Structure 1
Amino acid sequence: MYSLFLHRRKSIELHQCTVLVNLLQNASAFSNSFSSLQDVRKGKTFTVTYLVDSLGLTKKLAESISRKVSFEVKGKPDSVLSLLRSNGFTDSHISSIVTSYPQVLIEDADKSLAPKLKFLKSRGASTSELTEVLSKVPKILRIKKDKAFSVYYDFIKEVIEADKSSKGYKKLCLSSLPQGSKQENKLRNVLALRDLGVPQHLLLPLLISDHQRLSGDVKFKESLKKVVEMGFDPTTPKFVKALRIVQRFSSKAIEDKVSFYVKLGFDVGDVWAMFKKYPPFLNNSEKKISQTVETLKKYGLQEDEILSLFEKFPQYISYSDKKMEKGIETLLGLGFSKADLTMILKRLPQCIGLSPESVKEKTVFLVKEMNWPLEAVVSTPAVLGYSLEKRTVPRCNVLKALMSKGLLGNKLPPVSPVLGVTNEAFLNKYVRKHDDKELVAELMAVFTRKKRQSKSLKGNKSIM
């Protein structure tokens, strides 16, 4: 019996020791994780300060770059900046390079970058040519093989020069690249896009894109043919977006997606019309579409209203549930009813994509400061998208001036003819029509004076 008791006691002690060891290990792991997190934050803080001080970037841009690359010492970045500046790159060039390709800051300046710059100069590249090409498409610096690097560089140079002179460009010989290689296929495909008239600012990013589909052959040709036949304009970003979507999915997958939309109540023609408005809408899964529908139903929208909303503004389908709910709750919190919400969404579907703070600020100004009723915003929800400082406030200042002189009576005119027209139409109706030249000059001064700072409006939580 004593032996059994002793055995149980030893077992308990052993278990306690095991628990203690696990606790110590977990504490150590937590400590290491916390330490690592601190190191990451320290690196990002150092990176932001370095970019602001060394290149004069805004803090916002520097913070954006620090999310892609960070460092805690300035050795490598200093070497990179020194190398670029010694080769004729201005701070403006370097800012463009770092913004597009932040990883350049942690490259080995002597072993990686310097040989490439030396190689290009040995081929006859002038300082002006070098700085222009590399500041436009800096990601070619990550290409390691000289032949591929050389061909890509020549192509970019040709496109830039062709755009400057409005002349054609010469076809580059691709024989220096392995036939059927990723680089050869991509360059050939980009040349095909160039032939169609895709402009430089859309073309060059595709050249250094990591999208594998742009390196295809048969699939690329088939996809390109489909997008052209759909009538997309090659000079617009929608053309490139549509091409990527068609390439991404098989014909069967696209048919299935279209069939799902048909089950929801759309005609096939409606689906392709939405695709032409916003190609990425086909990226959405059946689960995502169903979630969006259910979220909108929760706020009182009927199925036919939801379908109409999607048809007018297919981008809506891609919004996250959190974003939609925040936008809708903002409107309801301002005093709009669910019926008002439905009307606003019908007339301005994209309002949910606007910043909740901006929507709140503009509504508060129109209702609380200008004394228009909430119904005025419901009838003309486009006002929620207008610039407060550049459009709304200057025009409302003119109305205030006219009312103070008794020239408008005591009743405000409707919102639409005040804010929904062009500047020219507004000035003709409320300023220039007066015979009194001094009054016209005074009203013009009110209209064009320094834009009102709207910070005072922020923080107002409710209108009612």
Structure 2
Amino acid sequence: MYSLLLHGKRRFVDLQKWPSFIVSLNLSRNASSSSASGLKGKNFTVSYLVDSLSFTPKLAESISKKVTFDDKSRPDSVLNLFKSHGFTDSQISTIITAYPLLLTADAEKSIAPKLQLLLSRGASPSELTETISKVPRILSKDRSLTVYYDFVKEVIEADKKSTSTLCLPKRGKQENKIRNISALRELGMPQRMLFPLLISNRPHICGKERFQESLKKVVEMGFDPTTPRFLEALRIVMGMNNETVQEKVSVYKRLGFTAEDILVMFKRFPIFLALSEKKITRSFETMKECGLLEDEELRSVVKMFPQCLGFSEENILNSVETFLGLGFSRDEIAMMVKRLPASIGYAGETVKRKTEFVVKEMSWPLRAVALFPQVLGLSMEKRIVPRCNVIKALISKGLIKSELLPSLSSALVCTDQDFLKRYVRKHDEDEEFVAELMAVFTGEMRTNK
């Protein structure tokens, strides 16, 4: 099946309508009411998470997309239950972040009995809090709760002792999953990746016959078992038969890719092999129709960043239009795509916001962005704005001439440590000024525009 991948050289108003209209109006009113109620619940949830668990507004907002509630009775009872069982504030925060639906559970009828069951089986309070904190979703289980608990505890203890053998008895229907996860652990897969698999029911984790065979192939391809990409590859390999693989390989070959190219792309983005023929060819043709790259250049871009084949046609065309609207020439867009293939799929608003910031507010030339498109992939809040604020502070002091700005790469690509050494600590003869620059860098002090 995967010999083509593994061995490249062998290749891979009418009145009657009024009643309906009235019904539509009522539905619309109900939807509006529901929407308002949902917004109220979301706002309450965010406030609760910030006030009760000290979550950041950003994290609270993210969690409110998964669970909402209108009063604090249930979440309060859940938090109090955990505290009464010895869970620390840090552990509770970790549990709620990973499994926020627990806040809507009935603490006494749903969660408490499970905790009591585990304690009655000999779990110490410290073992209970540590294990549940590692995999809070096991509390969603009923019959298999003890199975998963024992497995997590075994792994935690085994890792503490630096041993590689788990003495786990057969566990009925859960045997396959635990055996497979144990095999992944023996390959060096870390706990942070192993434990979420316990609540997964996907075939590549619960399967039996093809698991070992597929696992061996993924290892032979050189995937690193400590990375999520390993699991992506395993899922793809187990989910496709020989015939399907041959068909996908043929599609890529018709586009001019060699078997070796296909293997390289698979190792960079395993999911690319699961894309439909229509999706593959359409994305490739859309990028080609943009007139930015020649065939060989386009193949090189796809080989470097096969994820671009997953971009929608609309997304690709909108990206090109955004770049053109900002003043980039087609040649400059082509250069950016070759240097940073991911840029062809960036959201228009993101590209526009970052480009206008460095060009209009910081006065770097548009060409600088074309030469260093990586700036479009950097975080505005964590990287671009803090560093640019320091640059502006230095300009205001005359230590950097506005017409002689450092290059974008020099200011933005280096690590924080190198940036501070280059632009802040070099002024350490003036401790007050260095403290001021650090305050600007951390956002404690605003700079004048």
TM-score (ref. length: structure 2): 0.82
CA distance in 2, matches of 1:211, 1:152: 16
Answering whether residue 211 of structure 2 is matched by residue 215 of structure 1, we say no
- Structure 2 residue matching 1:262: 3-state secondary structure: helix
Instruction: Indicate the residue corresponding to 1:226 in structure 2.
Output: 217
Instruction: Indicate the residue corresponding to 2:99 in structure 1.
Output: 101
Instruction: Indicate the residue corresponding to 1:139 in structure 2.
Output: 137
Note if contact 1:281-1:315 (Cα within 8 Å) is conserved in structure 2.
Answer: yes
CA change 1:333–1:69 in 2 (3 A) is same
CA distance in 2, matches of 1:160, 1:411: 55
Residue segments in structure 2 that go unaligned for 5+ positions in a row: 1-13
Instruction: Indicate the residue corresponding to 1:450 in structure 2.
Output: 440
Q: How far has the Cα of 1:372 moved from its partner? A: 4.3
CA distance in 2, matches of 1:323, 1:312: 19
User: What count of residue pairs does the alignment treat as equivalent?
Assistant: 429
Note if contact 1:83-1:114 (Cα within 8 Å) is conserved in structure 2.
Answer: yes
In the alignment, which of 150, 154, 167 is matched to residue 150 of structure 2?
A: 154
Q: How far has the Cα of 1:151 moved from its partner? A: 2.0
Larger Rg: 1
- Structure 2 residue matching 1:168: 3-state secondary structure: coil
Answering whether residue 175 of structure 2 is matched by residue 184 of structure 1, we say yes
CA change 1:403–1:210 in 2 (3 A) is same
CA distance in 2, matches of 1:22, 1:390: 56
Answering whether residue 328 of structure 2 is matched by residue 328 of structure 1, we say no
Q: How far has the Cα of 1:446 moved from its partner? A: 8.5
Counterpart of 2:85, as a letter, is N
Note if contact 2:91-2:129 (Cα within 8 Å) is conserved in structure 1.
Answer: yes
CA distance in 1, matches of 2:98, 2:57: 16
CA distance in 2, matches of 1:430, 1:40: 47
Note if contact 1:395-1:447 (Cα within 8 Å) is conserved in structure 2.
Answer: no
Q: How far has the Cα of 1:370 moved from its partner? A: 5.4
Q: How far has the Cα of 1:337 moved from its partner? A: 0.7
CA change 1:78–1:394 in 2 (3 A) is closer
CA distance in 2, matches of 1:348, 1:371: 22
Answering whether residue 375 of structure 2 is matched by residue 375 of structure 1, we say no
Instruction: Indicate the residue corresponding to 1:173 in structure 2.
Output: 169
Answering whether residue 265 of structure 2 is matched by residue 278 of structure 1, we say no
CA change 1:47–1:445 in 2 (3 A) is closer
CA distance in 2, matches of 1:112, 1:413: 60
Q: How far has the Cα of 1:457 moved from its partner? A: 11
Report the more deviating stretch, 255-264 or 289-298.
289-298
Answering whether residue 301 of structure 2 is matched by residue 309 of structure 1, we say yes
Q: How far has the Cα of 1:43 moved from its partner? A: 3.3
CA distance in 1, matches of 2:253, 2:203: 31
Note if contact 2:152-2:195 (Cα within 8 Å) is conserved in structure 1.
Answer: yes
Counterpart mapping for 1:59-458 below 5 A: 59-145=57-143, 148-174=144-170, 177-178=171-172, 181=173, 183-301=174-292, 302-354=294-346, 356=348, 359-368=351-360, 371-386=363-378, 387-389=383-385, 391=387, 394=390, 401-402=398-399, 404=401, 450-451=440-441
Note if contact 1:190-1:206 (Cα within 8 Å) is conserved in structure 2.
Answer: yes
Instruction: Indicate the residue corresponding to 2:6 in structure 1.
Output: none
Question: What does the per-residue CA deviation read over 1:287-315, in whole Å, with 9 as the maximum and x for residues that have no partner?
Answer: 22233224323432233332221111112
CA distance in 1, matches of 2:69, 2:400: 59
CA distance in 2, matches of 1:304, 1:420: 29
CA distance in 2, matches of 1:297, 1:244: 30
Answering whether residue 49 of structure 2 is matched by residue 57 of structure 1, we say no
Q: How far has the Cα of 1:217 moved from its partner? A: 0.4
Residue segments in structure 1 that go unaligned for 5+ positions in a row: 1-14, 459-464
Question: What does the per-residue CA deviation read over 1:265-285, in whole Å, with 9 as the maximum and x for residues that have no partner?
Answer: 111110110111122222322
Counterpart mapping for 1:28-47 below 5 A: 28-47=26-45
Question: What does the per-residue CA deviation read over 1:319-354, in whole Å, with 9 as the maximum and x for residues that have no partner?
Answer: 334443443333222211111100111112123455
CA change 1:236–1:437 in 2 (3 A) is closer
CA distance in 2, matches of 1:437, 1:208: 53
Note if contact 2:372-2:408 (Cα within 8 Å) is conserved in structure 1.
Answer: yes
CA distance in 2, matches of 1:48, 1:428: 39
CA change 1:140–1:393 in 2 (3 A) is same
Counterpart of 2:338, as a letter, is K
Between the two structures, name the one with larger relative contact order (CA 8 Å, sep ≥ 6).
Answer: 2
CA distance in 1, matches of 2:428, 2:66: 58
Instruction: Indicate the residue corresponding to 2:10 in structure 1.
Output: none
Counterpart of 1:54, as a letter, is S
CA change 1:86–1:332 in 2 (3 A) is same
Q: How far has the Cα of 1:192 moved from its partner? A: 1.0
| CA RMSD of superposed structures (Å) | 3.6
CA distance in 2, matches of 1:32, 1:360: 38
Counterpart of 1:309, as a letter, is V
